[in-house]
C-alpha cells in the first residue's frame, strides 16, 4: 500500500507541480517546469533561488538578446521503478559560463562548472554543448539550479535525452563536422592552387571566405571547444563572435574585385568600402566588449543589422549586374538570393521573432556552401573566358610580332640594297652617257660594267632569299643546322651590327643539328639579337656570345651580351607584356621578350630564363631533343 501511495503521490506531483517526469523519456525540451529570474546585479545565490517563490515561468527556451546573468530552477522526478541515466544539455553551444547546482533531498549534492570559458578538464562529459550526465533513482526527485552567463544571446532551457541517444547524436554531429571540415580543406586547396595557377586574387578571397565559414561553424556549434586542441578559450569565443564579420568582409571584397567596382561601378565601390569599414568597427567593438567591458555587447545587434544590410546590398548589386549584362551574373544572383533569404530567416530566429529551430542553425552553412560554390563557378567561367581571350590575344601578338620583325628585316634589307642599287644606278648612268656622247665605246663599257651589275643583283637576290627563308612558315618539324640559322639572322641584321660595332662569337659546332621549327627559333634569335643591338652603346667592346650543347637529353642554348645587364627588377618580369627598360621616345612596346618566352614555352615546349652577371645579361633556352607542337 505504501508503494502505491508513493507512486500516486509522484504521479500527482508530475501532473500538478512544476516537476518534470523522466520515466518515459524521449528527447524533449524541458520547458513547462523551468523557472527563471534575471540577476543583472549579481545579488543571488543558489540558496536564494531554491527558496524563492516568485520566479518567472519560462515560456520559450531561446530568449535571444538579453543582459544577464540568469538563474533557472527545475525539478526532475523518476516515477518509474527503473534507474534512469540521462543527459541534460543547453542547446546553444558556446554559452560562456553555466554553474549547475544539483540538489538531492533539498541538499546540495554536486556543483558542475560548464561553458566555453571553462577549461575542458572541468567537464565530466565533454561534448559540443554544455552538458552533464545525471542518474535518477526510482521514485527520486532532483532539483537543478543553474546560473547562466553569456555575451548577449541567451538560451535558458535544458534539453533532456537518455545518455545513449545523446552520445549517438554527438557522434553524428562530429562526423558531419569532420566531413564539412574535409570539404573546406579540399575547397581551400583548390582555391590556393587556382590562385597560383591563374594569378587571380579573387581565389584567395574565396578561400578566406570559406575559412571564415569553417571557423564560424566550428565555433558556433561547439566543435572547436570539443576538439580540445589547446586553443585559448577566449580565442574560441573571439572566433565565434567575429568570424561572421570577416566572412562578410571577404564577400564584399570578392564583389569589389571580381566586378572591378572601382573601375566600372564607382558608386557601388564606395558602398562596399563603407560596409567593410563598418565591419572592422564592429570587430573592434566586440573585441573591446569581450576583453574590457562586457556591457558593450548590448550593441551586438549592430553586427546583425550590418550583416543583413550587406547581404541585402550584395543581392541588389547582383540584380544590377544582371541588368548590366555582366558575364556570369545569373549564377551570382542565384547564390546571393539564397544567401540573403537564409540570413534573413536566421536573424529572425536569433532575435526570437520566429521559433529558433535547429534547422535554422544549419541553414547558414548550407547557404554559405551554395554561395561559395557559385563564386567558384563564376570564377571558373570568367577564367575560361579570359583564357579564350588570351589565346586570341596571343595569336594577334604573334602576328604583330611577325609583322614587326618583317618590318625590321625589310628595313635591314633596304639598307643592304642601298649600296648595290647605287652601284647599278652608277653603271646605268655611265652607259647612258656613253650612248649619248661616245657610242663607239658602248659595247666595251657595257662589257666592263656588266660583272659589277650582276654582282650587285646577286647581293640583292641573296638578301631577298635570306628574308624569304626566314619567314617561311612550316607546320612540320625538320632538321636544320643551328649555326646556319643564326648566321642568317646575323646577315639580315648585318648593317646594324656593323653600325653598333658588335662582335658576335658563336661557340656552336658546324654540324650541330636540331629537329624543331626553324622559323620559330629564327624569330626568337631575331628578338634577342635585335634587343641587344638596341641596348649597346657606341663603344669598341660590344660583344654577343652564343653557345649550344646537349646535356641529359636537353638542348641548352646560352645567349650572352655585355650591354649592361637587365635593369628591371625583379629580373623575371622582363618577360611580362608591356615591360621595357627604355623610357621616353625610345620606349618600346615591351612585347619582344614576352613573345619570345611564349614561343619557347607554348610552341617549342621549352623554358627560357635570364640572369645578370656583372654587366652581362645571360639568357638560357632549354629545349627537349624531340620538340613537339
The predicted structure's pLDDT at residue 470:
52
Query: Dihedral of CA 161/163/169/173: which sign?
Result: positive
Mean pLDDT of 517-541: 82
Distance CA 155, CA 34 (A): 12
Query: What confidence tens digit (pLDDT) does each residue in 422-455 have?
Result: 667 777 887 888 888 877 787 887 787 787 777 6
If pLDDT is split at 50, 70 and 90, which confidence band does 2 have?
A: very low
Name the helix (H) or strand (E) containing 98: strand 97-104
Would you state the pLDDT for residue 114? 93
Judged on CB neighbours under 10 Å (0-12, 13-18, 19+), 229 is exposed
| Whether 83 contacts 99, CB under 8 Å | no
More confident call, 416 vs 595:
595
Domains of the chain: 2-167 (2.60.40.2380), 174-393 (1.20.1070), 474-629 (3.30.565.10)
For CA atoms 183, 184, 186, 187, the dihedral sign is positive
Give per-residue pLDDT as tens, 123-167. 878 899 999 999 999 989 999 999 999 988 888 988 888 888 888
Q: What would the pLDDT profile of 534-553 be if each residue is shown by its tens digit?
A: 888 777 788 999 999 998 88
pLDDT for res 131: 92
The pLDDT of residue 587 is 46
Q: What is the pLDDT of residue 228?
A: 86
pLDDT at 268: 92
Percent with pLDDT over 70 in the chain: 83
Question: What was the pLDDT predicted at 213?
Answer: 83
Q: What is the mean pLDDT of the chain?
A: 81
The cell for 207 is 578561400
Q: In percent, how much of the chain has pLDDT > 90?
A: 21
| pLDDT for residue 298 | 84
Average pLDDT over residues 470-499: 77
Q: What is the mean pLDDT of residues 196-212?
A: 87
Check whether 6 has a pLDDT greater than 70.
no
What is the rounded average pLDDT of the residues 459-481? 67
Q: Is the pLDDT of residue 463 over 70?
A: no
E runs forming strands in 553-615: 554-561, 607-613
pLDDT band at 593, cuts 50/70/90? confident
Distance CA 255, CA 269 (A): 9
Q: How confident is the model at residue 473 (pLDDT cuts 50, 70, 90)?
A: low
Q: Highest mean pLDDT range out of 287-301, 382-396, 463-477?
A: 287-301
Q: What pLDDT is attached to residue 162?
A: 86
Residue 103: pLDDT above 80? yes
Return the pLDDT at 28: 53
Per-residue H/E/C for 37-54 = EECCCCCCCHHHHHHCCC
Residue 401 CA to residue 531 CA, distance in Å, equals 13
What integer is the mean pLDDT of 496-525? Answer: 85
pLDDT score recorded for residue 516: 85
Distance (Å) of CA 463 to CA 413, 480, 483: 6, 20, 18
Q: What pLDDT band is residue 494 in, cutting at 50, 70 and 90?
A: confident
3-class SS of residue 566: coil
Of 151, 40, 143, nearest to 100 by C-alpha is: 143
What is the rounded radius of gyration, in angstroms, for the C-alpha atoms of the chain? 41
Segment among 19-28, 36-45, 323-332, 602-611 with least mean pLDDT: 19-28
The pLDDT of 102-117, averaged and rounded, is 92
Cell 543583472 belongs to which residue?
40
Residue pLDDT, tens place only, 251-287: 999 999 988 899 889 999 999 999 999 999 999 999 9
Amino acid at each position: 500500500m505504501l508503494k502505491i501511495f508513493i507512486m500516486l503521490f509522484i504521479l500527482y506531483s508530475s501532473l500538478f507541480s512544476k516537476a518534470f517526469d523522466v520515466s518515459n523519456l524521449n528527447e524533449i525540451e524541458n520547458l513547462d517546469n523551468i523557472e527563471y529570474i534575471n540577476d543583472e546585479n549579481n545579488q543571488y545565490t543558489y540558496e536564494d533561488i531554491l527558496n524563492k517563490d516568485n520566479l518567472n515561468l519560462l515560456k520559450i527556451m531561446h530568449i535571444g538578446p538579453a543582459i544577464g546573468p540568469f538563474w533557472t530552477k527545475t525539478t526532475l522526478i523518476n516515477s518509474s521503478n527503473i534507474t534512469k541515466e540521462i543527459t541534460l544539455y543547453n542547446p546553444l553551444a558556446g554559452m560562456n559560463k553555466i554553474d549547475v547546482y544539483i540538489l538531492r533531498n533539498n541538499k546540495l549534492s554536486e556543483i558542475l562548472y560548464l561553458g566555453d570559458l571553462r577549461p575542458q578538464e572541468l567537464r565530466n562529459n565533454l561534448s559540443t554543448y554544455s552538458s552533464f550526465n545525471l542518474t535518477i533513482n526510482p521514485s527520486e526527485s532532483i532539483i537543478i539550479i543553474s546560473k547562466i552567463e553569456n555575451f548577449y544571446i541567451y538560451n535558458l532551457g535544458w534539453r533532456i535525452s537518455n545518455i545513449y541517444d545523446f552520445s549517438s547524436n554527438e557522434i553524428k554531429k562530429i562526423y558531419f563536422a569532420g566531413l564539412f571540415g574535409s570539404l573546406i580543406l579540399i575547397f581551400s586547396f583548390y582555391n590556393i592552387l587556382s590562385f597560383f595557377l591563374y594569378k587571380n586574387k579573387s581565389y584567395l578571397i574565396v578561400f578566406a571566405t570559406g575559412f571564415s565559414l569553417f571557423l564560424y561553424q566550428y565555433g558556433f556549434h561547439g566543435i572547436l571547444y570539443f576538439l580540445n586542441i589547446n586553443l585559448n578559450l577566449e580565442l574560441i569565443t573571439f572566433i565565434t563572435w567575429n568570424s561572421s564579420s570577416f566572412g562578410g568582409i571577404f564577400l564584399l571584397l570578392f564583389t569589389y574585385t571580381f566586378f572591378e567596382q572601382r573601375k566600372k561601378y564607382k558608386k557601388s565601390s564606395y558602398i562596399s568600402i563603407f560596409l567593410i569599414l563598418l565591419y572592422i568597427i564592429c570587430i573592434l567593438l566586440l573585441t573591446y566588449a569581450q576583453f574590457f567591458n562586457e556591457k558593450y555587447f548590448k550593441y551586438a545587434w549592430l553586427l546583425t543589422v550590418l550583416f543583413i544590410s550587406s547581404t541585402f546590398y550584395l543581392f541588389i548589386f547582383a540584380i544590377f549586374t544582371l541588368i548590366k549584362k555582366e558575364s556570369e551574373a545569373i549564377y551570382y544572383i542565384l547564390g546571393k538570393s539564397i544567401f540573403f533569404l537564409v540570413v534573413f530567416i536566421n536573424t529572425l530566429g536569433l532575435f526570437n521573432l520566429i521559433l529558433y529551430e535547429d534547422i535554422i542553425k544549419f541553414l547558414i552553412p548550407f547557404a554559405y556552401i551554395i554561395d561559395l560554390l557559385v563564386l567558384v563557378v563564376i570564377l571558373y567561367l570568367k577564367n575560361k573566358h579570359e583564357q579564350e581571350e588570351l589565346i586570341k590575344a596571343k595569336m594577334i601578338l604573334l602576328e604583330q610580332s611577325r609583322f614587326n620583325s618583317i618590318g625590321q628585316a625589310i628595313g635591314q634589307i633596304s639598307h643592304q640594297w642601298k649600296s648595290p642599287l647605287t652601284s647599278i644606278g652608277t653603271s646605268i648612268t655611265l652607259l647612258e652617257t656613253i650612248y649619248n656622247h661616245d657610242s663607239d665605246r658602248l659595247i666595251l663599257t657595257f662589257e666592263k660594267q656588266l660583272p659589277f651589275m650582276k654582282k650587285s643583283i646577286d647581293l640583292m637576290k641573296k638578301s631577298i632569299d635570306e628574308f624569304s627563308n626566314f619567314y617561311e612558315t612550316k607546320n612540320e618539324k625538320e632538321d636544320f643546322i643551328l649555326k646556319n640559322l643564326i648566321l642568317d639572322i646575323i646577315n639580315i641584321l648585318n648593317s646594324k651590327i656593323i653600325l653598333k660595332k658588335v662582335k658576335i662569337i658563336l661557340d656552336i659546332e658546324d654540324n650541330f643539328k636540331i629537329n624543331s621549327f626553324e622559323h620559330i627559333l629564327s624569330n626568337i634569335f631575331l628578338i634577342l639579337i635585335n634587343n641587344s643591338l638596341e641596348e649597346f652603346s657606341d663603344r669598341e667592346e660590344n660583344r654577343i656570345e652564343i653557345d649550344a650543347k646537349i646535356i641529359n637529353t636537353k638542348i641548352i642554348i646560352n645567349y650572352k651580351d655585355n650591354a649592361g645587364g637587365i635593369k628591371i627588377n625583379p629580373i623575371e618580369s622582363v618577360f611580362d607584356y608591356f615591360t621595357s627598360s627604355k623610357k621616353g621616345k625610345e620606349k618600346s612596346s615591351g612585347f619582344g621578350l614576352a613573345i619570345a618566352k611564349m614561343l619557347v614555352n607554348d610552341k617549342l615546349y621549352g623554358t627560357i630564363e635570364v640572369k645578370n652577371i656583372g654587366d652581362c645579361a645571360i639568357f638560357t633556352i632549354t629545349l627537349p631533343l624531340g620538340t613537339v607542337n
